[in-house]
Amino acid sequence: MATIFSRIIAGEIPCYKVAEDDRFFAFLDINPLVKGHTLVIPKQEVDYIFDLNDEDLAAMHVFAKRVALAIGKAFPCRKVGEAVLGLEVPHAHIHLIPMQNEKDMLFSNPKLKLTDEEFKAVAEAIRAAL
């Protein structure tokens, strides 16, 4: 059975897409820690990020870098943090999170509640910075 992320890539479940190429897809986290919190995923359905072959893992990070730089332009921050957890969704993914300090990366923090219009504006701001 396809993961929720594979269904998002296929267009079966809506998302706020930020970037896409032939191998990777980036979209806003629906439960963001901060504005700009984005997920980068491979189109290939792989549960554990370190099960990707070396070429795909490296390419995923290059793709994530491009998205992270755009996030940093769209949402000025000290740095864009990267986290790989992978416990909730069995599809490899990288969290890109604009940070002012380390506490912005705590997944135990309350999640933002954004409106549809706010999500659209965040995604557009990142796309415009690509």
Question: Distances in Å between the alpha carbon of 122 and those of 5, 43, 44, 51?
Answer: 20, 23, 26, 31
Which one from 37, 61, 91, 93 is the annotated catalytic residue? Answer: 93
Q: Which two tokens stand for residue 66?
A: 């491009």
SS3 17: strand
Cα–Cα distance measured from residue 84 to residue 99, given in angstroms and rounded to the nearest whole number: 16
* 93 tagged catalytic: yes
Q: Which residues are catalytic?
A: 93
